Structure 1
């Protein structure tokens, strides 16, 4: 299949060349004429006064996150330590084989399986907790962390950072709920392939609630939206920004079709990965995500270490600006909106996309992956976005390259300028980071879109091939031409996913709570066994 897919993609190059020659402005205008209404509807801003307006989809995202935080008794805080233990593998035995099989009897049965000899064959799933986490992170950690933060600060000032962190912490509860459901209601094929995500917990979960018709409608809507989002925001936008950064760095503006050539190379690399499905995607992301995030965070730490005397002042600006909003358009509410908007849009908590990746995990307890998933907004927003914000604030103390309250358009360039203040020529490293971020986002979103595609059109090799060819085609298109309206539409598709997803997750919160109680009981039973001396604690570390 690999050879056929690459050959078929090669035959599409003449079409891609035609796309390069076609006037992008015409395509852009035609698309805007037909889809502008949808974009305006999704990102419609509710006016609360003459000074500020709030996108309704943001209210849904944050409102849902607040509800989940309270309903699950602040799981985003109380479950954090457990999440770290789960990723480390401390409870891997009960997740593979079930706590009843391992610790259900007080009297040892000599004929029973010995703990050390149990094989990894009884738990459904294709990837580990860590692989599922990195696959989901690869789709969210990206240009939003680099460019989006700079844009938010330019409008809302340093105070936006505080509300960005708040949005990240609240989003942890949303990720927990939706990813628990993703595992709970997933389908597992005869060959062990997992099919999961909101499409399945909306249809199957709401059927259990005696509202099968509503569940089916919401599932189909979500599938349509995730496919559109995978082609646009999860593909073309990423390819476009990576190509632009690459062309600018090496001054290739005068080279004919430079974007298309970049896109072809990128599409080839993406093809190699996505042909192997979630297992290969997970193997790549578990290496790429820690590497790219590590480089970026390390660079930020170097800058903070070089300016350690300014860190206290930076946090003072953040807290002062968070509750005053002085000198910023929209005042205090304007600062809150910018920070919460960036945090919510960056980590995609409540969108439902991550539940697709997390549903492929190997475990018998759905809540185990929900707990792991709550780490995602923390890493994406609380850590990486905050690092970016601190670097910009510290290097811009004298206002040398940005005036707060004046919106900027090119966030990547501003972030590069901030890093270059301390690390000369960091823009080269940043370009590599942007390309890696874009690459990892594309391969993860290809899996998301594929799952939606399979839900609508069936599971089979032909179905897979058609989607993958289309996805690779749009990688090159995105790299080659400017499609502002197409990107706006695809972004709208991604955030349209919020509507069916939040409705379904709220209706299914009792199921999530039941699964959480079941998993925590299993953990407690294992802890009791350790305390009673039934197993060696050192073996479980």
Structure 2
């Protein structure tokens, strides 16, 4: 058996219909249980991010905006560019519809999980306040559930390796900056080229991740909003120049979502593909983003839950939709056998001839690097919980070496490994959130009552 076949079997086993019940069913429960109330306060969430409701003297490391930017740095990345392309190739346009549904449901999930991240924070051996599913489980559910926290951290070590972002970054740089200009033959083996590019990425990442969450938040706060603006500007240009075609593509997405003859293997197959790609894109219910929001400087858990809801809205409903439209407008998804970021680059080449792929390269570079920075923090948090904060540097060394593996592995191997790990991470995250949902509802009722009295 090869790594490709083993990883494919692992991902398919992990992402069975039970994940549909857990992620979508759990999210629907959160929506109904909260009576849609958090959705009414999204404007208030924007005000919090803008700094209009500061928490003076609150514990934590970073601001609400810094927490959102760090979480967005972990989600707005190759999942919005390469993963959307994978969704369309594997599941057809209908997979995008289920990504949308998963994002809306995921907003409620993030409200509950990230509110809990502030309610149940712990301290590492250095006395630093930390948050995440492992602390929610041990602080909120008690020591008898400690095994579930350990399980999350073990699979989180793998799930947070920088595999997909590194792989796709190397792919687009190699294809458009080295092979297409003629510096390297298309038929030549690329292992040593991939490895060399991986080494460059490794040293670049090492210069930042050793600085911890404060440095990561600082970089993310400046880079992520700028790159989202650049990427969306490109997308709006393409959409505006093909505006008459957009209604037809929306119809195609909805039609294919419920087609028995879809590429993804019927309605259930397309649904599962869309949910898998949405989970990779916005990470709602996976538990990673909970660690970033758990570092926010606030004494009001509900405020951070509201801020976290903005993540899937920006990430999937906005950025992923823009990518999907560019790919569908270009038509390359029907005429080429490439996938991932290579498909997205060809879509940009078709819709913005000459300059498109290179604008995409700029976005991909910063999206990928900022995501890798955040993944290093997430993985370090898992390692710290298991082995102590003073030993995190050992994980960081493995993390950096994983970049070399990712640079030389195939896209299918990478996607399957991460998909499987994310599915396993979702189990303790969603189980703990469902069990502690009454605590969140009580805190939300209290916060909104006080807010409405002002």
TM over 0.5: yes
Larger helix percent = 2
Q: Give how far 1:170 is off.
A: 0.7
Summarize deviations over 1:81-115 as a string: whole Å, max 9, x none: 221121122221xx32xxxxxxxxxxxxxxxxxxx
Change (3 A) 1:70 1:439: same
Question: What CA distance in whole angstroms lies between the structure 2 residues aligned with 1:306 and 1:30?
Answer: 43
Match of 2:171 among 232, 239, 244: 244
Question: What CA distance in whole angstroms lies between the structure 2 residues aligned with 1:380 and 1:279?
Answer: 22
| 8 A Cα contact 1:197 1:359, kept in partner | yes
Q: Give how far 1:521 is off.
A: 3.3
Question: What CA distance in whole angstroms lies between the structure 1 residues aligned with 2:89 and 2:415?
Answer: 22
Question: What CA distance in whole angstroms lies between the structure 1 residues aligned with 2:243 and 2:437?
Answer: 44
Where does residue 364 of structure 2 map in the other structure? 434
Match of 2:437 among 509, 514, 526: 509
Q: Give how far 1:72 is off.
A: 1.2
Task: Give the alignment of 1:48-197 within 5 angstroms.
Answer: 55-75=17-37, 77-92=39-54, 95-96=55-56, 122-188=57-123, 193-197=128-132
Bigger relative CO (Cα 8 Å, ≥ 6 apart): 2
Q: Give how far 1:422 is off.
A: 2.5
Q: Does 1:389 align with 2:389?
A: no
Change (3 A) 1:305 1:138: same
Q: Give how far 1:437 is off.
A: 2.1
Q: Between Structure 1 and Structure 2, whose CA radius of gyration is higher?
A: 1
Change (3 A) 1:353 1:524: same
Task: Give the number of equivalent residue pairs.
Answer: 445
Match of 2:158 among 222, 225, 228: 228
Question: What CA distance in whole angstroms lies between the structure 1 residues aligned with 2:140 and 2:381?
Answer: 18
Change (3 A) 1:318 1:493: closer
Match of 1:445 among 363, 375, 378: 375
Task: Supply the RMSD in Å over aligned alpha carbons.
Answer: 2.7
Q: Give how far 1:321 is off.
A: 3.8
Q: Give how far 1:263 is off.
A: 1.7
**SS of the counterpart of 2:326?**
helix
Where does residue 422 of structure 1 map in the other structure? 351
Q: Which runs of 5+ in 1 are unaligned?
A: 1-27, 46-54, 97-121, 528-541
Q: Which runs of 5+ in 2 are unaligned?
A: none
**SS of the counterpart of 2:146?**
helix
Q: Give how far 1:39 is off.
A: 4.3
Q: Does 1:291 align with 2:226?
A: yes
TM-score by length of 1: 0.76
Q: Give how far 1:402 is off.
A: 3.3
TM-score by length of 2: 0.90
Q: Give how far 1:188 is off.
A: 4.4
Match of 1:316 among 235, 245, 251: 251
Q: Give how far 1:40 is off.
A: 4.9
Question: What CA distance in whole angstroms lies between the structure 2 residues aligned with 1:440 and 1:293?
Answer: 12
